[in-house]
């Protein structure tokens, strides 16, 4: 009976809010969109078996590059053209710098004390600026080993592990996983793992669950009042928090107890320094231990997952386009010989860098990017975007729009090279988004992809196993466009 009463109450409440919202916006020129179903709105859009970014592309064909969806949790606006996205996220970056509140994310991030999921605020600006500076210093090697040196070590270890599989038909996901994870863990808290380490396995499991939790549409995020009932998602959130805190809280406390302001060892030390400085300076904006731990967590979850899966996409594209692999190998031999490629070599290795860029375009791992919230009433293309509207951009379509890309579904690194053979960036290339929410790890990700892919291809020739078809271009059915399982043959060169 309690459940029935609660549902009736919530339905009535949603109906009232919808009516009040309609009254408040009826005079506005809102973006067009499909007709909404009473109470459910356009929720049926998400109920197909097709990838949501393709469904949204079809809706953009019908309603335009700025269209809206009405959902139980509020109005969503979808931007589907590069010029529209830049008008909103770049030219009006502050207007679209917020994040919508999501109950499960709030639980995981200690009331949104992180950077990636936190709403726009003065504290967020300070936290983000601190993180950006810390990453930049770590990459350059201020008081620590430069990031490129750490990547070279992991590439060397990775190629040693792959040498043991010479000629075999195998899945190399575990080896790639370990190598990419070790780079970000070394940067974040000064530790690397072996593939058998229990803590490493716990980190991977926590990250797997976190990716699952990010899938949208769970009723608990639409109606947080449902938290009083048993929820599979809430149980998983608690498991993630418990596992994460058992590892990262201890690392934070160890760093705090051994902190030396004259010896900043890693990103955690840099965050601790910023936290202590904010407290000692008597600033109005004080960073807390929650801010530090959440920054640690977001850096190694976000920095690991996207790079690892994009690297797997790169291997898939090379297996389907062996001529690209051959061209990279020829370029490496001519430019640097037998030593492993460094990030500083990229001007001498334009085709390798172009291959990384084409991988980022073609894979479009973050198909819709993260949701943004309009923090004030604003406009896009003359259409009204009310405050608190959730805004997505369809980056997958931006990267596959034939208006801007010739033969968009083919893998062509040359599209990123000018007539002089130098790398250039087309205006429709934005895998890390734009504006105030642009990805903090952009330079790190590009560096890792360049050095890992170059190192693998330099030491090995990658082949599709005899009798098997090349890996499928179709991703798993999730928003993050994860590559499907595949095997390959690694042959020492």
Give all domains of the chain, ordered by start, each with its CATH number. 31-492 (1.10.630.10)
How high is the pLDDT of residue 6? 43
**What per-residue confidence (pLDDT) applies to 234?**
85
Which candidate, 380, 361, 479, 430, places its Cα nearest to that of 65? Answer: 380
pLDDT under 70: residue ranges of the chain: 1-27, 216-217, 222-226
At 312-354, the pLDDT tens digits run 999 999 999 999 999 999 999 999 999 999 999 999 999 999 9
pLDDT value, residue 26: 59
Q: So what's the pLDDT on residue 21?
A: 54
Confidence at residue 24, expressed as pLDDT on a 0 to 100 scale: 54
- Which pLDDT score, from 0 to 100, does residue 421 have? 96
37: left (phi over 0), alpha (psi -120 to 50) or beta: beta
pTM of structure: 0.91
Tell me the per-residue pLDDT of 437-487, one tens digit each, with 9 for 90 and over.
999 999 999 999 999 999 999 999 999 999 999 999 999 887 789 999 999
Residue 216 has a pLDDT of 66
pLDDT value, residue 4 = 45
């Amino acid at each position: 009976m309690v459940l029935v009463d609660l549902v009736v109450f919530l339905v009535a409440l949603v109906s009232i809010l919808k009516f009040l919202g309609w009254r408040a916006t009826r005079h506005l020129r809102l973006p067009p969109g499909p007709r909404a179903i009473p109470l459910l709105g356009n929720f049926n859009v998400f109920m197909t078996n097709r990838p949501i970014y393709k469904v949204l592309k079809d809706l953009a064909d019908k309603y335009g590059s700025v269209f809206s969806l009405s959902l139980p949790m509020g109005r969503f606006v979808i931007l589907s053209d590069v010029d529209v996205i830049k008008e909103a996220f770049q030219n009006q970056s502050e207007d679209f710098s917020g994040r919508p509140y999501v109950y499960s994310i709030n639980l995981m991030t200690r009331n949104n004390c992180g950077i990636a999921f936190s709403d726009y605020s003065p504290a967020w600006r300070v936290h983000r600026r601190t993180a950006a500076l810390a990453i930049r210093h770590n990459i350059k090697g201020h008081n620590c080993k430069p990031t490129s040196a750490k990547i070279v070590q992991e590439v060397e270890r990775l190629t040693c592990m792959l040498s043991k599989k010479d000629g075999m038909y195998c899945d190399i996901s575990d080896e790639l996983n370990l190598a990419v994870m070790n780079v970000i863990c070394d940067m974040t808290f000064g530790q690397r793992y072996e593939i058998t380490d229990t803590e490493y396995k716990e980190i991977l499991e926590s990250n797997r669950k976190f990716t699952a939790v990010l899938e949208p549409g769970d009723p608990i995020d639409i109606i947080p009042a449902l938290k009083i009932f048993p929820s599979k998602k809430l149980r998983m959130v608690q498991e993630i928090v418990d596992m994460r805190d058992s590892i990262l809280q201890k690392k934070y406390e160890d760093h705090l107890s051994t902190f030396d302001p004259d010896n900043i060892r890693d990103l955690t030390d840099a965050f601790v320094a910023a936290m202590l400085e904010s407290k000692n300076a008597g600033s109005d904006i004080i960073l807390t231990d929650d801010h530090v731990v959440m920054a640690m967590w977001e850096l190694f979850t976000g920095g690991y997952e996207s790079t690892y899966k994009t690297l797997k996409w790169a291997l898939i594209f090379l297996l389907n386009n062996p001529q690209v692999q051959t061209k990279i190998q020829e370029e490496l031999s001519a430019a640097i010989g037998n030593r492993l490629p460094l990030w500083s070599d990229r001007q001498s290795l334009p085709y390798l860098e172009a291959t990384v860029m084409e991988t980022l375009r073609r894979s479009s791992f973050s198909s819709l990017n993260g949701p943004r919230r309009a923090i004030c009433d604003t406009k896009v293309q003359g259409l009204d975007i009310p405050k608190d509207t959730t805004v997505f951009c369809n980056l997958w379509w931006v990267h596959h729009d034939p208006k801007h890309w010739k033969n968009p579904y083919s893998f062509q690194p040359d599209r990123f090279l000018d007539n002089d053979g130098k790398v250039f960036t087309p205006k429709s290339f934005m895998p890390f988004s734009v504006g105030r929410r642009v990805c903090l790890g952009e330079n790190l990700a590009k560096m890792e992809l360049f050095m890992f892919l170059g190192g693998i291809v330099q030491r090995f020739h990658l082949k599709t196993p005899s009798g098997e078809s090349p890996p499928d271009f179709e991703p798993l059915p999730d928003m993050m466009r994860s590559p499907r399982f595949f095997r390959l043959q690694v042959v020492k060169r």
